[in-house]
Amino acid sequence: MPKHMVDLVKLLRAQKTSVAAEKMAEQVQTLREELKEKLERTNSKFKVAANKCRRVKLF
């Protein structure tokens, strides 16, 4: 899912690409995904803890 308009533009690729650069880019992407998942889990724990002390409002 693109987050910016630039993500939708198909960039031209050079014919010679560095294997090390591609590997590093893959590592950065996987690290970003892992951090996102960890952040979501942590936020859900905080949400459960915060909602524990809230009163239930009935109308």
CA separation for the pair 1, 18 (Å, rounded): 26
Residue 42 has pLDDT above 90, yes or no: yes
pLDDT score at 54 = 85
The alpha carbons of the chain give a radius of gyration, in whole angstroms, of 20
**Closest to 28 in 3D by CA, of 38, 40, 36, 39:** 36
Band of residue 17 on the pLDDT scale cut at 50, 70, 90: confident
